[in-house]
């Protein structure tokens, strides 16, 4: 039942860099390559924003990028979810407190999953997306102890 729902659900990713060092971006890129086999979860890059299910945000979110982030989010059809990847997208990272760094994607859009790291490994990024799927399904995101 739950397992079948997960398998049928195929999340397409839209990636947006709000002003980052590209460290997280290359790990997001790596996570969609065969070594990590994201396709077994149905995870792939969406051909356009309007086909996206999951918005993957990297970067410390500068003011101008914040406007674009909001617009991008609004262009995505429901149901849509946001995964913030990397320390900068979580809280501004090394640059927290600097104006005008907004300091975290959740100051602009509703974030469903936070993946910490500088940058996080591709496995961690995929793990974050899978946790999101399990959460949505009403299932447990952590395995129950047997």
Partner 1 sequence: MVVKVSLNLVDLLREYAVKSYIMKPNRLVIEIEAGKLREVFTKLTEVLGKEAFYLATIEGTDLPEKNLIRVDYFINVFKHNAYLVLRTYLPRENPVIPSVTDLIPGALAGELETYDLLGVLFNGNNHLRRSFFVSEDISSKGIYPLRKDSGV
Partner 2 sequence: MVEATHMIEIPITVEIPVGPQHPALHEPLLLKLYADGERVIKVDVITGYNHRGVEKLAEKNSFYRDIFIVGRVCGICNAVHANCYVRALEYMLGIDPPPRAKYLRVLAMELERMHSHMLILAVTAELAGYETLFMYLMKDREYVMKAKEILTGQRVLADYMMVGGVRRDVDETKISRILDMVKRVEERVKYYHKAFQEDITINRRLRDAGRIKHAEVLAHSLVGPVARGSGVKTDVRAQDKYDAYGEIPFNVITEDYGDSYARAMVRFGELYESINMVKHILTHLPQGNPVPDEKKLPRRFPVDESYATVEAPRGELTYYVSSSGSDKPYRVKIRTPSLNNIVNSAFAYVDQMIADVPVILGSFDPCISCMERAIITNLKEGTRYQVPLKALGGVRK
| Cβ proximity of 94 and 140 under 8 Å | no
Q: Using CB under 8 A, which residues numbered 33 to 72 contact partner 1?
A: 63-64
Q: Which residue bears the tokens 């995870």? A: 43
Q: How far is the CB of 101 from partner 1 (least distance, A)?
A: 12
Cα dihedral 70→119→126→140 (10° resolution) = -80
- Please give the Cα distance from 102 to 11 (Å, whole number): 28
> In this complex, which beta carbon is closest to partner 2, that of residue 47 or of residue 139?
47
Q: Residue 125, interface with partner 2 (CB under 8 A)?
A: no
Q: How far is the CB of 67 from partner 1 (least distance, A)?
A: 12
Q: What are the structure tokens assigned to 26, written together? A: 């290359």
Q: What are the structure tokens assigned to 15, written together? A: 């990636």
Q: Residue 91, interface with partner 2 (CB under 8 A)?
A: no
- The order of strands in the sheet holding 54-58 is 44-45, 12-17, 54-58, 81-85, 113-115
Q: How far is the CB of 118 from partner 1 (least distance, A)?
A: 25
Binding mask 4-43 for partner 2 (x = CB under 8 A): -----------x-xxxxxxxxxxx-xx--xxx--------
Binding mask 123-142 for partner 1 (x = CB under 8 A): --------------------
105 DSSP 8-state letter = G
3-state secondary structure (DSSP) of residue 31? helix
Give the residues lining the site for partner 2 (CB under 8 A).
15, 17-27, 29-30, 33-35, 45, 47-48, 59-60, 62-65, 88, 92-95, 98-101, 118-119, 121
């Amino acid at each position: 039942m739950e397992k079948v729902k997960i398998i049928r659900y195929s999340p397409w990713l839209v990636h947006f860099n709000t002003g980052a060092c590209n460290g997280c971006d290359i790990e997001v890129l790596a996570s969609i390559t065969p070594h990590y086999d994201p396709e077994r979860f149905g995870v792939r890059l969406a051909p356009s924003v309007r086909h996206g299910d999951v918005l993957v945000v990297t970067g410390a979110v500068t003011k101008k990028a914040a406007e674009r982030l909001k617009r991008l989010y609004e262009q995505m059809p429901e149901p849509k979810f946001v995964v913030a990847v990397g320390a900068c997208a979580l809280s501004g990272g090394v640059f927290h407190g600097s104006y005008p760094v907004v300091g975290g994607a959740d100051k602009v859009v509703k974030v469903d999953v936070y993946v910490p790291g500088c940058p996080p490994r591709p496995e961690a990024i995929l793990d974050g997306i899978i946790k999101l799927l399990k959460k949505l399904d009403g299932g447990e995101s952590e395995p129950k102890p047997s």
